[in-house]
Structure 1
């Protein structure tokens, strides 16, 4: 094995060992999973990392590690082992932070898996080598990497909003975007060489992230996840959620005034500010 592959091998081996321990020992598993209340209430921030070394099943584990093995070599060889590790853990933490933000009011939400970190490596590879071909298992077809990346981002946006399954699509999307951005920062010339495919992938993701940060109530509409979490909350909880979202909007408007002046406000922003002032 070359020196380049050692880091990937160690990550895969460590993930297999820890995941296997989690399969056999439930107390160990639940001690290190990603859980909203454990992180936000008890400040157990290590779970943002440790959850990436646990998996729910052998299939989940093998698929993630096989994907990591396939895409890791080019990134590690091109950027070096240290930068490869930075991308991996940035994707792991960044993906979990996005998931934490989206599910911050859902204290029963939990997740495990290296998918955010693996997506970071995959999208770092796409940013650096957008023309490489990506195939699918057992199918005699392949696509340019940037086509796969765009399709994956669009599907993830749909999946995050529809919430029709228990897959952590938000962590996948967060990890993917972080991986691409960090790779570009590490190798700035890639944005000049590959700006078209990079912009095609980044733009819908950036718009979606802006929406969920500034208009989080638009995330879950008429789907099972929404029905389970928002239609059963108390009046006080609904009030607090609405109050928090309003305060975020006012903070954004005030920040805009501070940087660009009152003249920069739209009619809608002026109306929101006036309405807020009247209530106060």
Structure 2
């Protein structure tokens, strides 16, 4: 039986590859704020996450998602038992609209703005993993996994916030930032409401032990 991570990955790849050669699919699914504002096409908050600009964009997102998705999904299963799978997919799906709310508010009448890709949801999964295991080693492309998550995380957030403010590179850094924040918030809320596990205490304990 496939994991939720693999199912999401396969579906995203199938739809993305279909969209590469079909502009209508892209137009129908892409995040386009005026279509939401004027035609109430709220589904675009979700569907933009299953299409990508090109193969490189898709590959980077799905590789990052796979590397952390399997880990986070199993961690959720350990924390929440059978509810873990439902909560994992809930985190992923809710991250898609949550990460785009600031973007929508800034561009709801901007006819020139479009956004696509699963980056916000992937960021949520990555940062959920970092929050649950802050000493996990992370690398970037040619850089081997040598940076602990609790150092990588703040650097990533600072850079994303800076790049979002600067703009001009056709990348929705705001979605990356808010997706990452949502991953952490989701873990805190669900753990405190549904388990006796305190993820904040666990995070601080692991970071402290790292320097011991």
TM-score by length of 2: 0.87
Who is 1:106 aligned against? Answer: 110
- Name the structure 2 match of 1:12: 9
Q: Which moved more, 1:14-23 or 1:134-143?
A: 134-143
1:179 aligns with 2:203: no
Do the aligned partners of 2:126 and 2:180 also contact (CA within 8 Å) in 1? yes
- Find the residue that maps to 2:92 and give its secondary structure: helix
Gaps of 5+ in 1: 199-280
Query: Residue 227 of structure 1 corresponds to which residue in structure 2?
Result: none
**Does residue 194 of structure 1 match 2:191?**
no
Deviation at 1:164, TM superposition (A): 2.8
Pairing partner for 2:156 from 145, 152, 157: 152
Residue 65 (structure 1) aligned to one of 58, 62, 66: 62
Partner SS for 1:167: coil
| 1:228 paired residue number | none
TM-score normalised by structure 1 residue count = 0.66
Structure 2 regions of 5+ residues with no counterpart? 77-83, 193-197, 208-212
Inter-partner Cα distance in structure 2 for 1:193 and 1:124: 13
The DSSP-based 3-state class of the residue aligned with 1:44 is coil
Taking structure 1 as reference, are residues 118 and 140 closer, same or farther at Cα in structure 2, changes over 3 Å only? closer
Matches within 5 A, 1:41-190: 41-79=38-76, 80-140=84-144, 142-188=146-192, 189-190=198-199
The root-mean-square deviation of aligned C-alpha atoms, in Å, is: 1.8
| Aligned pairs, number | 195
Q: Which runs of 4+ in 1 moved over 4 A?
A: 195-198
Relative contact order, higher structure (CA 8 A, sep 6+): 2
CA distance in 2, matches of 1:93, 1:72: 19
CA contact (8 A) 1:136 1:142 kept: no
| Structure 1 partner of 2:23 | 26
3-state SS of 1:185 partner: helix
Q: Between Structure 1 and Structure 2, whose CA radius of gyration is higher?
A: 1
